[in-house]
Amino acid sequence: LHATCSLRPQTSETREIALLDGLWSFRVCGRDNPDEGFFNEWYLKSIKWMDGTILMPVPSSYNDITQDKKLRDHVGWVWYEREFFVASSWKVKRVVLRFDSVQYYAKVWLNGKEIMDHEGGHLPFESNVSNALDWSGPNRLTVAVNNTLTPFTLPCGKVVYPNDSNNYPPGYFRQELIFDFFNYAGIHRSVSLYSTSPTAYVERVRVTTDIEPQGQGMVSFAVSGVGIQDGTSTSCDIDIIDATGTVAASLKNTSSGRAEIKEPQLWWPIGSQGVKSGYQYVLKITLRGSEARVYDVYRQYFGIRTVAVDSRGLQINRKPFYFLGFGKHEDFHIFGRGFNLPVMVKDFNLMNWIGGNSFRTSHYPYAEEVLEYADQHGIVVIDESPAVGLHEFPKKTLEHHLRVMEEVIERDRNHPSVIMWSVANEPKSTDKDAREYFGRVINHTRALDPTRPVTFVIGGSNASLDKAASLADILCINHYFGWYSDPGHVELIQRQLSYDFRQWSSHFRKPIIITEYGADTIAGLHTSPSFIFSEEYQVEFMAAYHRAFDELRTHGILAGEMIWNFADFMTDQQINRVWGNRKGIFTRERQPKVAAHFLRGRYQNLRRVS
């Protein structure tokens, strides 16, 4: 029943969508009876009228919705349920139920029948429910969600049972996270039903592009699905349409092939001089039957661009690209990691206001809406998998990791904004098992998508001890000189960073992106002279890094810079976190700290010249 999916639902001449977002019934299983929902078969009857059932918004994390600390810190099962009706016009259709993301493990029943399960947040899963629907309705949809993290989940965590009965009651346990952000949980992105023809429909589309030496754009495409038979009664026609609506190429009766676009408008990153950024074409797929019957129409956006890595860094359309970017999180007050369009657009506006051109989806794949926005605006994305906290490398985790890479790449491969895959953040890459593990993950990723560079993000390692860095196309390194080491001593930063990066560079002969550097800063705390946690310290700290960056850039060592973090975000309760991680240059509410104005000076300047 393990479900996955790839094609993003859309409306078209042949497709409809019904959103199931809204208020769902919601119940928690307490620590004293964690499997209550299964024992009492909550999927067979409605939980709606049971004592203690509350209403929960979807999409949203459930953690911060109520005043209940137990719910905020819950580890284990919660249950969601809602009812819906389906229009009878859909009776003749194929109807698919899709979850865009549920954190972490989900089991789904429709009208009491188990229809699918999925492990891992941040990625969509779906199932054909045409035969499970009750057309006279209502249909009852039940979802059990478990947020428990173990060494075999991505991200990694562990459940700890202290056996010290003097200090902990019997049965006491605690979830320990091996990463630095709150384990928000629940139905995090939209839930939808969509319809297609049952006879012939598109299931997968792959588009890759190249640019010929004479400048023509080459578009390779492969469409697969049900009922697609080239040259027979169900044929696949392709039109490539530019942004003005003009057909730039047409191919009849073929589900895969290559089309040439003369004088193409390329997809350029934001800030590129004299060209429009974020230009996209549409690959329109039409599945036709006999007598001009149209079974399916699907429109896949794409951009014509190339990505390559040379000894100095990344090249987009054979021009050097320098990252002026951000590490981010999907995080906000109240709804946690739930998808929210206004926050998403505000974030892009702020990134643009600063003069940035890129971000990393630290530390998990972001909502598809985010990538679509980045595509349209020429924002460059390093797409990261949810593999954070990897300190051990068991086979079981590896198998899951390989599957996750398949899901990420299948979902995101057609986005022009995605220019590199990051398979993990800060694994223990000095471990003796890291090389074989990352050999498998990185080779698998390259085989799934040979068109993009692959990396993982290095932290807490050094060039001579690292076992896996040589497998990456570009070195992505996080550093916290002047924060976790020598706190308060900004005067050491330039020397330390410059020494360390020269080591990596001479060892591996690969370009380096600094994917994290940052200092926790309480907005409004001012000290003179500067002191850690003050706005002054954050700015002095960044200025010292920037001096090192400028030096490393002139030596061709640095290929980009990304501040940690775009905004303050929630973490677990720890003594070094003041209601979350405060390394944002914006507060969690998205108001600028002095650091944001400071970074704006640098990024605007560099974006203009790069």
Supply the minimum distance, in Å, between the C-beta of residue 462 and ligand GCB.
15
Q: Is the dihedral of CA 63, 67, 71, 73 positive or negative?
A: positive
Compare residues 255 and 478 and give the one whose CB is closer to ligand GCB.
478
Q: What is the Cα–Cα distance from 563 to 357, expressed in whole angstroms?
A: 12
Tokens of 415: 């986005």
Q: Is 180 in the site for ligand GCB (CB under 6 A)?
A: yes
Indicate if 561 belongs to the active site: no
Q: Is 581 in the site for ligand GCB (CB under 6 A)?
A: yes
Tokens of 464: 């001579």
Compare residues 104 and 564 and give the one whose CB is closer to ligand GCB.
564
Q: What is the Cα–Cα distance from 195 to 93, expressed in whole angstroms?
A: 6
Supply the minimum distance, in Å, between the C-beta of residue 446 and ligand GCB.
24
Compare residues 14 and 534 and give the one whose CB is closer to ligand GCB.
534
Residues 309-348: x where in contact with ligand GCB by CB under 6 A, - otherwise, as a string: ----------------------------------------
Compare residues 426 and 540 and give the one whose CB is closer to ligand GCB.
426
The answer for residues whose C-beta is within 8 angstroms of residue 17's C-beta and 6 or more apart is: 9, 10, 11, 192, 193, 194, 195
- Helix (H) or strand (E) holding 355, with range, is none
Among 198, 459, 487, 488, binds ligand GCB (CB under 6 A): 459
Among 300, 478, 494, 505, binds ligand GCB (CB under 6 A): 478
Residues 587-606 that bind ligand GCB (CB under 6 A): none
Per DSSP, the three-state class of 140 is strand
| DSSP H helical ranges for 197-283 | none
Total residues contacting ligand GCB by CB under 6 A comes to 11
Compare residues 151 and 459 and give the one whose CB is closer to ligand GCB.
459
Residues 367-406 that bind ligand GCB (CB under 6 A): none
Long-range CB contacts (< 8 A, 24+ apart) of 281-284? 281/219, 281/240, 281/241, 281/242, 281/243, 281/248, 282/240, 282/241, 283/205, 283/207, 283/219, 283/221, 283/238, 283/239, 283/240, 284/238, 284/239, 284/240, 284/241
Among 74, 140, 583, 588, binds ligand GCB (CB under 6 A): 583
Compare residues 337 and 363 and give the one whose CB is closer to ligand GCB.
363
Supply the minimum distance, in Å, between the C-beta of residue 608 and ligand GCB.
30
Among 340, 425, 534, 610, binds ligand GCB (CB under 6 A): 425
Supply the minimum distance, in Å, between the C-beta of residue 478 and ligand GCB.
4
Compare residues 100 and 384 and give the one whose CB is closer to ligand GCB.
384
The answer for residues whose C-beta is within 8 angstroms of residue 555's C-beta and 6 or more apart is: none
The count of residues in the chain is: 610
* 8 A C-beta contact, residue 157 and residue 175: yes
Supply the minimum distance, in Å, between the C-beta of residue 483 and ligand GCB.
8
Among 239, 426, 431, 535, binds ligand GCB (CB under 6 A): 426
Per DSSP, the three-state class of 340 is coil
Compare residues 111 and 461 and give the one whose CB is closer to ligand GCB.
461
Tokens of 302: 């794409």
Supply the minimum distance, in Å, between the C-beta of residue 387 and ligand GCB.
12
Supply the minimum distance, in Å, between the C-beta of residue 497 and ligand GCB.
15
Compare residues 180 and 412 and give the one whose CB is closer to ligand GCB.
180
Q: Which residue is nearest to ligand GCB (CB)?
A: 180
The residue annotated as part of the active site, out of 368, 426, 516, 535, is 426
Residues 59-118 that bind ligand GCB (CB under 6 A): none
Compare residues 107 and 363 and give the one whose CB is closer to ligand GCB.
363
**Cis peptide, bond prior to residue 169, ω within 30 of zero:** no
CA distances from 457 to 70, 178, 384, 422, 466 (A): 34, 15, 9, 7, 12
Strands 454-458 and 418-425: what pairing? parallel
Supply the minimum distance, in Å, between the C-beta of residue 518 and ligand GCB.
6
Q: What is the Cα–Cα distance from 83 to 23, expressed in whole angstroms?
A: 10
Supply the minimum distance, in Å, between the C-beta of residue 321 and ligand GCB.
23
For 513-534, letters b (16+ CB in 10 Å) and e give bbbbbbbbbbbebeeeebebbb
Helix, strand, coil distribution of the chain in percent, nearest 5: 20, 30, 45
For helices 368-377 and 341-354, give the axis angle rounded to 10 degrees.
Answer: 30
Tokens of 8: 């993003």
Q: Is 127 in the site for ligand GCB (CB under 6 A)?
A: no
- Nearest Cα residue to 418 out of 314, 573, 287: 314
Residue whose token pair is 């860094």:
313
Residues 534-573 that bind ligand GCB (CB under 6 A): 564
Supply the minimum distance, in Å, between the C-beta of residue 40 and ligand GCB.
39
The answer for residues whose C-beta is within 8 angstroms of residue 97's C-beta and 6 or more apart is: 108, 110, 115, 126, 127, 129, 141, 191, 192, 193
Q: Is 361 in the site for ligand GCB (CB under 6 A)?
A: no
Residues that bind ligand GCB (CB under 6 A): 179-180, 363, 425-426, 459, 478, 516, 564, 581, 583
Catalytically active residues, by annotation? 426
